[in-house]
Structure 1
């Protein structure tokens, strides 16, 4: 009888352990989307009172997609759409996905607060600094604009696995991943914040929420699309009204269709979409229009797989248009 009781207890514990193992939602990817996903995850877990655990990693958008297309995670945070090579990797592994925009971000260009000569920069000036041919040649501020001082430029930017790097180079240089290589790169935006805050001649870029959390350490630069145009600072209003260009962008979560077989993943995504606007505001990101969230929820409910981009980067696309497009695989 004792042996039977011990065996029964072991089986019960094994079943409980197995159930516990299954109630895990695994997320990785973009450092830009991380604050929003982490905020949603914390609140979701509170409601579940320990029954579901949600892990959120930061390996960059590219790093997240690598794990996602290997079937290692349920959800990939992305600050840019999935690229053709990633679509092919997912297809080869039989991974289907649902593309869900969750907020807007204003990719923010920042300088050190002691920098008194930069208030506005044009896209052309930024290109002159960041394009590949600038490496080893454009090293001082007066080489970009003769009215600026003879002061060394120290550059900080997102790493090569970051969707922020992809979007910035596409919007500023004109080609994704086209950039000089002699800058301090990191997928951890906090490293970039610290770097810019410590060097008077520094320039960097990352998601708006990291700037908003560090306004005493950093100064945002107004962006002018062309010379002669007024510069526009990133803000909730300038992102929503479309005047902060070309560095406003939607950010996404990609959900594995196979992972939706797990009720905890379905419940988490439902919770995410229902509360994204509230938590976006809390982490200094810009929520989508209500109509867009309703369409996003509708697409999720219908399990609309694929991407509205087709593996090709686009700058300036509206979320409303994106959500109506036929998904490409």
Structure 2
């Protein structure tokens, strides 16, 4: 770890804040007409502040002492932490990192009890958890190392009547027992187009994320999804269900030409049938003339001419039939090509109502083929957030999650904790890309590195910033413009 200036001690930051508040209340000049009651109230506020500050100091001193050379982490699995702990331990550092996976609730409780240094989570600290930390003089610092999101998408350059879905509408489309079979059932504006759903199987990270985020299923499985949910072993399978195959697109585009070819082949065959029929008639006439010549006892040369006419007529009929067989084969081939193009167009048309979900990293690779829905939260105004690097990183996009490391200034002042977090942040960008997550900008990583290394004082989490629900609160940034 690089050398950095010694931090000022901040373990009792909450205490100083309370004391300052009490002193301010005591030093304010009474308004005109104030009585001794006001002075008594200010004195009580000051005494209460002193008592609370003393209580917090005592609670802080009672926290367990951390083990030197050991960094303790608790929280959830499925983030970057396991891989980064392994990489850190292979780096040659003498620091030992101990990781538990007891869940976010237990981890935040332990953080505020002074028992762990870092909480590994996909949600921010809740207001009651932040209050618990502050009540023992612990200031909370939140670091973000990556983000993740699922994108709900239909085929690009198609339309089902709307571009924005609420999280509850997405849930209604996919949940077990869903009655939704057409897009028009989702509300006014959507077209009366059959709706069919698909997505990855349970081994895919997107399945687990989608199940927890959209379906409120702690341990997602297929029983949480509608019975006609199409599962695919690969993201490619889900994508092809939504967008169709490129070959079908190419064939569908050929349908007009194939139709003209079919009509021409049929017309030529019809004309050839007339040629055959005319040839048959000539053969019959020629044979009749031979018979008539015999009956009439025509001269020998005339009867010979009649017989020669039969030969020519039969040769013409054979040639006409041969040409008919060729044209029939050609017509059959053209019709087969037409039928293939028509079937391809039908498959392409059926994809109009197909919808799937994908990790954002996979969607980015095929954004020319996929048309994502903007997503809005069910509460508050309809904001319709477009999935993008920015809206996902900020947590503004509702179907996203931020991967967070939450610590305290008390732990940050420990060299071993700072060393581990610096190593983690240095690798966070590449690690996120390798894990198919959304990486932070280098500027954001550098800003957090300044906190960890002591070059800048960290931004402390405040009650105003703490989310009011289990999910991280969206950043107050303007919505990404719709495409």
TM-score range, shorter chain: 0.5 to 0.7
1:46 equivalenced with 2:196 (yes/no) = no
Query: Is the contact between residue 123 and residue 402 of structure 2 (CA under 8 Å) also seen in structure 1?
Result: yes
Q: Give the secondary-structure state (helix, strand or coil) at the position aligned to 2:141.
A: strand
Partner of 1:310: 465
Q: 1:185 aligns with which of 208, 212, 218?
A: 218
Partner of 2:432: 280
Closer, same or farther: CA 295–305 of 1 in aligned 2, 3 Å: closer
Closer, same or farther: CA 107–261 of 1 in aligned 2, 3 Å: same
1:76 equivalenced with 2:119 (yes/no) = yes
Q: Distance in 1 between matches of 2:112 and 2:75?
A: 12
Structure 2 gap segments, 5+ residues each: 1-66, 154-159, 203-207, 240-356, 359-370, 377-383, 478-483
Closer, same or farther: CA 24–203 of 1 in aligned 2, 3 Å: farther
Partner of 2:373: 224
Query: Is the contact between residue 140 and residue 150 of structure 1 (CA under 8 Å) also seen in structure 2?
Result: no
Shift of 1:197: 11
Q: Distance in 1 between matches of 2:430 and 2:121?
A: 19
Query: Is the contact between residue 397 and residue 474 of structure 2 (CA under 8 Å) also seen in structure 1?
Result: no
Q: Distance in 2 between matches of 1:295 and 1:82?
A: 20
Within-5 A mapping of 1:134-145: 138=178, 141=181, 144=186
Query: Is the contact between residue 120 and residue 404 of structure 2 (CA under 8 Å) also seen in structure 1?
Result: yes
Count of residue pairs brought into register by the alignment: 250
Q: Distance in 2 between matches of 1:290 and 1:42?
A: 23
Partner of 1:128: 169
Render the CA deviation track for 1:63-110: whole Å, top value 9, x for unaligned: 432222222211012323322111112112332222222222224569
Q: Distance in 1 between matches of 2:118 and 2:427?
A: 17
Partner of 2:304: none
Shift of 1:42: 0.8
Structure with the bigger percentage of helix: 2
Q: Distance in 2 between matches of 1:314 and 1:262?
A: 29
Q: Which moved more, 1:214-223 or 1:54-63?
A: 214-223
Partner of 2:128: 85
Query: Is the contact between residue 176 and residue 226 of structure 2 (CA under 8 Å) also seen in structure 1?
Result: no
TM norm structure 2 = 0.41
Within-5 A mapping of 1:254-273: 254-273=406-425
Structure with the bigger percentage of strand: 1
Q: 2:403 aligns with which of 248, 251, 255?
A: 251
Q: 2:81 aligns with which of 26, 37, 62?
A: 37
Shift of 1:252: 1.9
Partner of 1:215: 235
Q: Give the secondary-structure state (helix, strand or coil) at the position aligned to 1:271.
A: helix
Which structure's CA Rg is the greater one?
A: 2
Closer, same or farther: CA 292–261 of 1 in aligned 2, 3 Å: closer
Closer, same or farther: CA 62–215 of 1 in aligned 2, 3 Å: farther
Q: Distance in 2 between matches of 1:285 and 1:60?
A: 21
Q: Distance in 2 between matches of 1:274 and 1:150?
A: 43
